[in-house]
Chain A
Amino acid sequence: MTYPLLSVKNLTKYYKKEGSLFSPPEDEVLALDDVNFDMYEGETLSIVGESGCGKTTLAKLITRLIEPTRGFIFFQGKDLISLNPGEMRKIRRKLQIIFQDPYASLPPRMKVGEIVGEGLEIHGLFKGGKKMELVKRVLGEVGLNAGDMNRYPQEFSGGQRQRINIARALILHPRLVVADEPVSALDVSVKGQIIKLMQDLKENYRFNYIFISHDLTTVEEFSHRVIIMYLGRIVELASTRKLFEKPMHIYTRALISAVPHRKALRNKEKFILEGEVPDPRNPPSGCHFHPRCSFSQDICQKERPFLKDMGNNHLVACHLY
């Protein structure tokens, strides 16, 4: 029996501003509410949802850039939350993150060579010439030139910067890369190139990745499983094929309907959502989705639906099932 590469249990995060001497604590803002899932070696997992669904919080929690309010994260069997700062720093080598904004995520005053090589230095792996050699190789693999080492990030376009980000993450040979909307800020014609690059590198470097996106169409081609999130909770989790063939949650169906000109859905009924995502400071009772759901019943306002297995590991959190 294989045990999961990553296992997330009851993960919950509330953001709150701590009160100080003179100001009382502010309202808690719900970011992530009791999230559970496992991820196995070799799979590409996508997490999809709109703004406020908690996907970026989840990315930062998994890489422990922020601390959870409750819950556990097991990575390669180790409980990440219980690690002390020194142990955590060591494990970061195996656990990398790629940020959405290719402009904000690179230090402005360092040369590309230094940026990409920094990880090696931090972990005391290679220095000097050997380091530069490795940097050159990785840059080549992400489609940049060795000559780019001595240039500054400002000289590169968004897509090229995202390549630098990928190189920086991969030079440490991580096991898991969390990519937080890596292509959302890029132009349409560049998106595909970056996704393809990540796919190719996955073969060579044998890493696994979690791909976070607000756009369901982007993830369809390459992910094995998809998690749909809404306002801090997982509402549906299924293999990509099943999710697109037979979406169960109304929210998932609405997301698929919002994709223009989808052949598969052209003749099926369309779900157009009314309203907007509610305020996370004051989430709706029961099912978070009920104010926007056309099938809402009494129970939806009262009780939170939990994920139910509808067979073949297709999980959905909805009182209709």
Chain B
Amino acid sequence: MEKPLLEVKDLAVNFKREEGFFKAVEGISFKIWPREVVGLVGESGSGKTAASLSLLNLTSSRGKVGGEVFFDGVNILTLPERKLKKFRGRQIGVIFQEPMTFLNPVLTIGVQIMEPMVEHWKISWGQARERALYLLSEMGIKDSERRMKEYPHQLSGGIRQRVMISMALACSPRLLIADEPTTALDVTLQYQIIELLRRIREKTPMAILLVSHDLEVVRELCDRVMIMYGGRIVETGGIREIFKDPLHPYTRSLVEVSPSFERVAWRLPGEDAPFSYQSNIPAGCRFQHRCSRVSRECKGAEPSLKEIGGKGWIGNSFSFHRQVRCWKYQEGALEKDEKPL
């Protein structure tokens, strides 16, 4: 049986703050299999970006990463920075939300695409140039010769994002982490980039971890999705199952706003609470303040991430479980409450 490409065990990210430690991510575990496209969905403050960046130990100096991240069997969190650099770019590529902050303003984009190839593969600049031109044209950039000589500020938002994607793909990584790749773009451009990612997904054998606040974008591209809330994974499952039958009340609130959701909407009375510091974390379920179905046990202890039903399959080799972190499903008694309110 095939081994997972990435295995994350009990990952935790803490940020040091004036007021003490702020737990951005608390004990999340998941696997990504080769060629799989997985979505990581959550709203601002859910810890999704911290979680994805910590996979490469890219969080800021104030962040402390705990747990284990196995990439192809190697725990990359224990690697020294020198060896970690070999993973970044070569094995794992990253696309960021706002390309402008991650592109070097004083280098031409050509140099920025070629540099990692020259460094990781030890090929000549001429060879790197050929591949860079190929990549850019693959990304739908027409006059790639000219673009290579331009600087980041000369490019429009859509082109910049395409350049960023070419950079991430330059060394044919085996895993691509895409952190909100379409969020900063206009609607019609978002669509172009989604189409582009879909094409990449079909053409290359790499696995993708798509991080987004937008379940609709994830639905366009992913096989499987993990929902995060308050630094925890609250639900995982196949994308179709999640849309057809969201189990966690939070997932349900995300799915309900979709134009394709056909069931009766529950209403979430609560407000997005700005809870982030340790002192504010409630005892019990993190979602209790916003949950319309809160009961006494939700306030007592935090529910665990419980496997529901049997295994699901993607393709014919990867298996996964449907999981949910909610008291309603803790006892294994799967009573579905489908009556319209």
Contact = CB atoms under 8 A, between A and B. Distances in A.
A187 B272 contact: yes
A188 B229 CA distance: 13
B271 A261 contact: no
Interface in A198-217: 214-217
Given A258-B187, A259-B259, A187 B271 contact: no
A215 B187 contact: yes
Nearest to B191: A258
B5 to A, nearest CB: 27
B158 A276 contact: yes
A50 B187 contact: yes
B74 interface: no
Contact of A262 (B195, B259, B290): B259
Interface of A: 50-51, 143, 155-160, 186-193, 214-217, 254-255, 257-263, 272-274, 276-277
B220 A260 contact: yes
What is the interface of chain B mostly: helix, strand, loop, or mixed? helix
Most A-side CB within 10 Å, residue of B186, B194, B215, B256 = B186
A155 B273 CA distance: 10
Nearest to A159: B272
B33 to A, nearest CB: 25
Contacts, number: 87
A305 B217 CA distance: 35
Nearest to A185: B44
A280 to B, nearest CB: 12
Given A214-B186, A254-B188, A260-B194, 5 more contacts: A159-B271, A160-B274, A192-B257, A258-B190, A263-B260
Interface of B: 43-44, 156-159, 186-192, 194-195, 213-217, 219-220, 250, 253-254, 256-260, 268, 271-274, 290
Contacts of A277: 186
A273 B192 contact: yes
Contacts of A272: 191-192, 195
A157 B273 contact: yes
Contacts of B250: 189
A261 B188 contact: no
Contact of A189 (B188, B190, B191, B268): B268
Contacts of B158: 276
Contacts of A190: 271-272
Nearest to A52: B186
Contact of A188 (B188, B194, B195, B257): B257
Nearest to A187: B43
A35 B227 CA distance: 44
A187 B189 contact: no
What is the interface of chain A mostly: helix, strand, loop, or mixed? loop
Given A159-B271, A254-B188, A260 B217 contact: yes
Contacts of B213: 187-188
B191 A257 contact: yes
Contacts of B191: 257-258, 272-273
A276 B44 contact: no
Contact of B259 (A155, A258, A263): A263
A263 B156 CA distance: 32
Contacts of B157: 276
A189 B189 contact: no
B292 to A, nearest CB: 12
27 contacts: A50-B189, A51-B186, A156-B274, A157-B274, A158-B44, A158-B272, A160-B272, A160-B274, A188-B254, A189-B250, A189-B257, A189-B268, A190-B272, A192-B257, A193-B268, A214-B187, A216-B187, A258-B187, A260-B219, A261-B219, A261-B260, A262-B260, A263-B260, A273-B192, A276-B156, A276-B157, A276-B159
A255 B187 contact: yes
Contacts of A214: 186-187
A188 B43 contact: yes
A27 to B, nearest CB: 16
A158 B273 CA distance: 9
A52 B89 CA distance: 34
B271 A189 contact: no
Nearest to B229: A189
Most B-side CB within 10 Å, residue of A188, A215, A258 = A188
A189 B41 CA distance: 12
A158 B254 CA distance: 17
A255 B188 CA distance: 6
